[in-house]
Amino acid sequence: MKPIPSTMDAFHSRLAAGCARLAAVSLLLLFALLLPVAPARAQVKPMPGAAAPANGQGAAVTPAEDREREGAEFLKRRQRWFYQQRAYPLGFIPQGARARALEQLRQMHNSQRRALGLPPLPAQTTQIAGTSTSSGGQVAIISGNAGGGFVVPPSGTGAAWLPIGPQATSSTFNSPFTSGRVTAIASDPRDATGKTVYIGGADGGVWKTTDAGATWTPLFDYQPLVSIGSIVLDPATNPSTIYVGTGEDNYGGDNVYGAGVYKSIDGGSTWTRDSTFGAPASPSPLDNNRQGPMIGNLAVNPVSLKNNILLAGVRGRGLALQSGLWCSADSGATWAHVLPVMQPTDTAGDPPTGIVFDSTGVAYVALGFPFGESRNGIYKSSAAITSCSGIIFNKLTMPGTINTANLGRIALAIAPSNNTTLYAAIADSSGSSSKLLGVIKTTDGGTTWAKLTGSTLLTTSGFCNDQCFYDIVLAVHPTDPNTVYAGGSAKNATLIRSTDGGSTWTEISRAAFSDGLHVDMHAIAFAKTSATPTFSLYAGNDGGVWSSGTNDPKGTVGLNYWSNLNGPLNITQFYPGISIHPSTPAFALGGAQDNGVQIYNGPSLTWTDSGLGCDGGMTAIDPQTPTTSYSECEYLPDPNGVLLIGIAYSGDGMFGNGFVGTTGITSTDRGNFIPPLILDKNNPLTLYFGTCRVWQTKDGANSWNAISPDLTSSTHPAGCGSGGASVLTAIAVAPSASSTIYTGADDGEIEATTNSGTAWASLTTGTLPGRVITQIAADPSNSKKAYVTFSGFGSCNNVVVVCDGKGHVFVTADATVAPPVWTDISGAYGALGSLPDIPVNDLVIDPDDSTHSTIYVATDIGAFFTTNASTSGGTTWAPLGAATTLPNSEILSLTLHDPSRTLRAGTHGRGVWDINLGPAANTPSFQISSISPVMAMQGAASIANFTVNGTGFLSGATINFKMGTTTTVLTPSVTSTQLVATLPSAQLAAQGVAQVSVTNPGPATTATVPFVVLGPDFVIVSTGATSKTVKAGVSASFPVSIAALNGFTSSVTMSCSLPVSAKGTTCAVTTPLAVNGNGTVSVTTTVLLPPTAFRPPAGPGFPLPIALASLAIAALLAFSRKQPRLRFALTAACAALLLAAILPLAGCGSGPSAPPPPTNTTPAGTYTVTVTGTSGGITHTTPFTLVVQ
């Protein structure tokens, strides 16, 4: 029986329980107090610049071998950019359109020549669809001389276009040179030395060497089309007979269609088109309905007396020219379709991707449509081919390890020394032929095949992955059927070789090394030599042509194995947007297909790879500080996209110490493959980049902001992602008003803003064609007047399809009128004073014509000009430059260096060409055309031969060198066109931009051109988002880096500031001193926002001593249950502690009152955070945007 507790015992018990609860609370509070003291696990932040996202900024630009990422999407977007803009909206190129345009061009040249008493150009040698063959070659549709007839060219009819290269491009990665895409190679077996070789350029014509590649001669510049798909020599009786299949057939997106098969019987000196335009009863490999064919394969029967038989692999366009194998039994005069067997409802056919003869005349053909076709496979003729009638082709059985449902593109090769040994490389059509399905081999003439699986280069890491549809080629050694070569795209497998019949393979391209081959292999050939070894191997790819030289094609491949033969070649394919230095035409930048951004430093014809490896796009040079330049790569939206705008500060255009400037641009936007990138010459830190909307930077590409909605439709739909289809193709800033900006889209939509993007308005009317806009140019002195150019074709020779009948160049006198009035100034189709119906790709307004009615346009067949462009009609056009001085390659870029009157044309396969326009009506007779040099390093020695070129210089003329407010007058030696003086070192002591002018006795002074003194410097680069949105009480961090330029090694003091209106906001830099060498230092700016809501003051808290004492007493109480006196004492102590704990919490109304709400809270709004870096006398700033909600 338990004793009954007394009253005092009950009190003691309740007090003890209170102490226990106090102890529990104390334990929790003590844990809370001690918790922050425990070591916290640090958050790991990524290093600035490490694994930077595609739309990030701050990483130094390095050579990027992005050729390896050229998958199906890449090539599809390249195709949309190049081919589809010419076919849109029809979906094809109209019948004979290019041939008619070329004939009109010839007639226009003859009109000029007759006016000057010169003999006419020779007539076309073959009949052209839609034309007659009269002695003058008059085009049937020419209706007279509308527009006024002969126009005197600015520099005279005899003015010639001159090539300035690249011949070729100096490259550190493919040392020493790269050129352009080589699609075909053939050697002359009659040359016992093996030194006569022919190559074909993608859009660069046929070239010949007779010294094994030490020199090359172009043979095909003035043929109707210079796109080459295949070359073959007659091996039987006359190897100097050459057949060329025009039209590249590599499914590369920018492959240009052809004009049939051409033949030369004199080693390429003269050519005839050995195919006829025929009715359906007399077909040929030419398209009577649409564009010409793409002939990627040609083969000549090797049997003596049967060498008149040719087989051609043709990719056509529909019923008028069905894809398939075509045969000629009369050396190309007439043709018959022989494979596949066509059905009445068959509209497509199936293009051959490989054709070979064995030594008896039996033919093997691979049908390999890359995207899958039931007839894809390898076929063999049942007997030697002796005519083009009655040929029976049998489809050969694939090995069971090959999924025949997925046969894609097929490359085929036969062993010249063994008629029964063949190899085939097959792409997997289930992935649009991006991946390799397998390589197979037969040793019994195709009766049985075996899949080769001895190497991962043939399986999981296929040598042509991820673009087997584009570059897949095989070749067998001439005397060893077990030595076989396979060429593809991967850097670690660009060219592989097996010497044991395909059991094992070795990579021999050395593409990963500077002395190796360029990636993307398209052609392999052997040349028999009179030396040892007896053969030399030639390889053609996207970077040009290489050979094994005197090294054995079967031997060990090591350092300097490959001979680079690109030095004399000029076959680079340029994109739009070539830019020229303001102080000299001898410096320029241009983007090239698969060969990055290239640098011209004349007068040398050798250009330099800038290090921005990609499909180089548009470029821009700062006209005020021309040591700064901008370039872009091709654009592919995310995911796994490409968005790269490079900035170089070195003055030489090299991007080795440059930066990627795309921060702020949404990389998922729809955008063109080569998007518009435009610099505002009035405010050169302001640039514009186009996706389906306009992005603007005002700080030299450090940060970008969208200033427009989707401008591809007049309705300005929300969003700019993959939901739509159209993209911007052109942006123009009015020279006289930077607030006026024009845009053009690939669906023909044209828009403008007159208030820097605050509001946009559609300028599209029914007068304009619904075709792709290629360029917009605003009048130099009237921002309301604008020209716009269009791609595509306006006329059709087709009873089924009706073209829009509209021209290619339009002008409006006032774009602010709603709707604006557009005038077609192209002229009537076919008239000699009109533009031919051909895509117009670029336009330049001559600023030296005060009326601004002299304009120059770049087209697919050459350059044209007019001196009376008028909104009221009557414009007359003429070809620019003497006939047969500019190859028949598409001109995609046209740029004017006005001080020197140099007009520069960038072609799609024949490099870059210049023509001197001579003085216009308002060209000053006294002016500077260029200076040399255009820059120097700070602290350099005196320049002994500082040269100023120009016109109108008089004896006693002086050179003015103005740096800041100080002008130094130099006394030069004088001729009427050149001044030479010594520029003292004192004028090079401080960095900056000097203005150079010339003063004649009189006095008269020229306009100025810039000269840059480049010194050690630094740049502040954002490495993250440049705009943050926060709520009150939240901090925002802006990471930046400091990067050294031109040998800068000093420390940089960093600081940041906010406007006064951002009250209550503080700014701090985490690393106020950046010790800078040649690398970068990360700096973080943090903006702290005070709370905007009122909070009551915090209480005094729970004293730590009371908590500790309570814990101690609670522990003793636990052991005092049987000791009443001790328990009483402890309970009394606990009561005292409880009282000490409660009284402060009660407050009793006598404590201090709470402070009022703060009055310095940050108002909602947008603020600029300015980050400043200072080192000595150098100060740079960069802005960030803070949005407070």
Contact (Cβ atoms closer than 8 angstroms) between residue 324 and residue 341? no
What's the rounded mean pLDDT across residues 414-418? 98
Confidence of residue 566 (pLDDT cuts 50, 70, 90): very high
Tokens describing residue 1063 = 């009250």
Cβ neighbours of residue 410 under 8 Å, at least 6 residues apart?
Answer: 353, 354, 366, 367, 368, 376, 377, 378, 424, 425, 426, 427
CA 933 to chain centre: 30
Q: Which of 377-381, 713-717, 1076-1080 has the highest mean pLDDT?
A: 377-381
Alpha-carbon separation of residue 890 from 199, 622, 755, 832, 875 (angstroms) = 20, 28, 36, 21, 23
The verdict on residue 476 lying in a domain is yes
The verdict on residue 592 lying in a domain is no
Give the distance between the most distant pair of CA atoms in the chain. 143
What's the pLDDT tens digit per position in 56-78? 334 444 433 444 445 667 767 87
3-state secondary structure 799-862: CCCCCCCCCCEEEECCCCCCCCCEEECCCCCCCCCCCCCCCEEEEEECCCCCCCCCEEEEECCE
The verdict on residue 1134 lying in a domain is no
Does residue 527 sit in the same domain as residue 431?
yes
Alpha-carbon separation of residue 31 from 22, 34, 38, 183, 1103 (angstroms) = 14, 5, 11, 76, 13
Upper half-sphere CA count for residue 103 (Cβ side, 13 Å): 27
**490, pLDDT greater than 90:** no
Range from 192-206, 432-446, 737-751, 1113-1127 carrying the lowest mean pLDDT: 1113-1127
Confidence of residue 455 (pLDDT cuts 50, 70, 90): confident
Tell me how many domains the chain contains. 3
Amino acid at 367: L
User: What is the C-alpha to C-alpha distance for residues 964 and 1013, in angstroms, rounded to an integer?
Assistant: 12
Contact (Cβ atoms closer than 8 angstroms) between residue 671 and residue 692? yes
Does residue 329 sit in the same domain as residue 208?
yes
The verdict on residue 329 lying in a domain is yes
Range from 6-15, 409-418, 708-717 carrying the lowest mean pLDDT: 6-15
Does residue 288 sit in the same domain as residue 191?
yes
Confidence of residue 1089 (pLDDT cuts 50, 70, 90): low
pLDDT, averaged across the chain = 83
Say how many C-beta atoms besides its own lie within 10 A of residue 220's C-beta.
25
Contact (Cβ atoms closer than 8 angstroms) between residue 207 and residue 566? no
Does residue 962 sit in the same domain as residue 1032?
no
Range from 114-123, 343-352, 357-366, 1150-1159 carrying the lowest mean pLDDT: 1150-1159
User: What is the C-alpha to C-alpha distance for residues 472 and 594, in angstroms, rounded to an integer?
Assistant: 17
Does residue 988 sit in the same domain as residue 1025?
no
Q: What is the DSSP string of 173-239?
A: SSSSEE---EEEEEE-TT-TTS--EEEEETTTEEEEESSTTSS-EE--TTSS---EEEEEE--SS-T
Cα 259-876-752 angle, rounded to 5 deg: 90
Are β-strands 579-580 and 587-591 bridged in parallel, bridged antiparallel, or unpaired?
antiparallel
pLDDT at 1001: 94
User: What is the C-alpha to C-alpha distance for residues 129 and 518, in angstroms, rounded to an integer?
Assistant: 40
The verdict on residue 1174 lying in a domain is yes
Contact (Cβ atoms closer than 8 angstroms) between residue 180 and residue 254? no
Which of 564, 586, 609 is where one domain is finished? Answer: 564
Q: Which residue in 1103, 1138, 1111 sits closest to 18, CA to CA? A: 1138
What's the pLDDT tens digit per position in 212-233? 999 999 999 999 889 999 999 9
Cβ neighbours of residue 131 under 8 Å, at least 6 residues apart?
Answer: 99, 100, 103, 124, 137, 138, 139, 140, 141
Range from 290-299, 814-823, 1065-1074 carrying the lowest mean pLDDT: 1065-1074
Q: Which of 245-259, 716-730, 1123-1137 has the highest mean pLDDT?
A: 716-730
CA 157 to chain centre: 35
Does residue 940 sit in the same domain as residue 1078?
no
**Alpha-carbon dihedral of residues 495, 496, 497, 500, nearest 10 degrees?**
-160
Of how many residues is the chain composed?
A: 1189
Q: Which of 11-25, 315-329, 707-721, 1053-1067 has the highest mean pLDDT?
A: 707-721
Q: Which residue has the tokens 């016109």?
A: 951
Give the H or E element holding residue 263. strand 261-264
**496, pLDDT greater than 70:** yes
The verdict on residue 136 lying in a domain is no
pLDDT at 28: 35
Angle between helices 1104-1118 and 7-34 (to 10 degrees): 130
Range from 468-482, 607-621, 935-949, 1140-1154 carrying the lowest mean pLDDT: 1140-1154
What's the rounded mean pLDDT across residues 1063-1069? 82
Q: Which residue in 1114, 1145, 1146 sits closest to 1127, CA to CA? A: 1114
15 vs 1000 pLDDT, higher one: 1000
What's the pLDDT tens digit per position in 102-112? 989 999 998 88
Contact (Cβ atoms closer than 8 angstroms) between residue 504 and residue 498? yes
User: What is the C-alpha to C-alpha distance for residues 407 and 410, in angstroms, rounded to an integer?
Assistant: 8
User: Whole domain around residue 947: which residue ranges?
Assistant: 927-1014
Q: Where are the alpha helices (DSSP H) in 463-585?
A: none
**278, pLDDT greater than 80:** no
Confidence of residue 32 (pLDDT cuts 50, 70, 90): very low
Say how many C-beta atoms besides its own lie within 10 A of residue 889's C-beta.
30
87 vs 448 pLDDT, higher one: 448
Does residue 350 sit in the same domain as residue 434?
yes
Does residue 1074 sit in the same domain as residue 932?
no
Tokens describing residue 417 = 């020394």
Q: Which residue in 1, 2, 17, 7 sits closest to 1131, CA to CA? A: 17
Say how many C-beta atoms besides its own lie within 10 A of residue 33's C-beta.
13
pLDDT at 1109: 53
959 vs 24 pLDDT, higher one: 959
Q: Which residue in 1086, 1031, 1041 sits closest to 660, CA to CA? A: 1041
Cβ neighbours of residue 31 under 8 Å, at least 6 residues apart?
Answer: none
Q: Which residue in 89, 82, 96 sits closest to 830, CA to CA? A: 96
Contact (Cβ atoms closer than 8 angstroms) between residue 156 and residue 150? no
Confidence of residue 291 (pLDDT cuts 50, 70, 90): low
pLDDT at 1027: 82
Contact (Cβ atoms closer than 8 angstroms) between residue 949 and residue 602? no
pLDDT at 573: 93
Which of 970, 987, 1014 is where one domain is finished? Answer: 1014
Contact (Cβ atoms closer than 8 angstroms) between residue 423 and residue 438? no
What's the rounded mean pLDDT across residues 970-986? 98
**1061, pLDDT greater than 90:** no
Q: What percent of the chain has pLDDT over 90?
A: 55
Q: Which residue in 751, 835, 841 sits closest to 794, CA to CA? A: 835
3-state secondary structure 970-1014: ECCEECCCEEEEEECHHHHCCCEEEEEEEEECCCEECCCEEEEEE
Are β-strands 1009-1014 and 992-1000 bridged in parallel, bridged antiparallel, or unpaired?
antiparallel
Contact (Cβ atoms closer than 8 angstroms) between residue 737 and residue 779? no
Q: Which of 88-92, 467-471, 509-513, 985-989 has the highest mean pLDDT?
A: 985-989
604 vs 304 pLDDT, higher one: 604
The verdict on residue 1099 lying in a domain is no
Upper half-sphere CA count for residue 903 (Cβ side, 13 Å): 31
What's the rounded mean pLDDT across residues 669-687? 96
1160 vs 1053 pLDDT, higher one: 1053
Tokens describing residue 424 = 């085939």
The verdict on residue 739 lying in a domain is no
CA 583 to chain centre: 26
Q: Which of 83-97, 723-737, 1036-1050 has the highest mean pLDDT?
A: 723-737
Does residue 939 sit in the same domain as residue 1070?
no
Contact (Cβ atoms closer than 8 angstroms) between residue 1124 and residue 44? no
1118 vs 913 pLDDT, higher one: 913
Q: Is the preceding peptide bond at 819 cis, omega within 30 degrees of 0?
A: yes
Residue 1130 φ/ψ region, left for φ over 0, alpha for ψ in the -120 to 50 degree band, beta for the rest: alpha
Q: Which residue in 646, 636, 709 sits closest to 675, CA to CA? A: 636
Confidence of residue 737 (pLDDT cuts 50, 70, 90): very high
Upper half-sphere CA count for residue 692 (Cβ side, 13 Å): 25
Does residue 354 sit in the same domain as residue 372?
yes
688 vs 1167 pLDDT, higher one: 688
pLDDT at 280: 34
Range from 285-289, 942-946, 962-966 carrying the lowest mean pLDDT: 285-289
Does residue 366 sit in the same domain as residue 301?
yes
What's the rounded mean pLDDT across residues 670-698? 97
Tokens describing residue 122 = 């020779």
**267, pLDDT greater than 60:** yes
Angle between helices 1104-1118 and 1124-1146 (to 10 degrees): 160
* Domain containing residue 484: CATH number: 2.130.10.10
Does residue 1005 sit in the same domain as residue 1022?
no
Which of 965, 985, 1014 is where one domain is finished? Answer: 1014
Range from 317-331, 494-508, 905-919 carrying the lowest mean pLDDT: 317-331
Q: Coil, strand or helix: which one is 149?
A: coil
Say how many C-beta atoms besides its own lie within 10 A of residue 140's C-beta.
13
Confidence of residue 795 (pLDDT cuts 50, 70, 90): confident
189 vs 200 pLDDT, higher one: 200
What letter does residue 292 receive in the DSSP assignment? Answer: P
**46, pLDDT greater than 50:** no
* Domain containing residue 993: CATH number: 2.60.40.10
Range from 396-410, 825-839, 1003-1017, 1172-1186 carrying the lowest mean pLDDT: 1172-1186
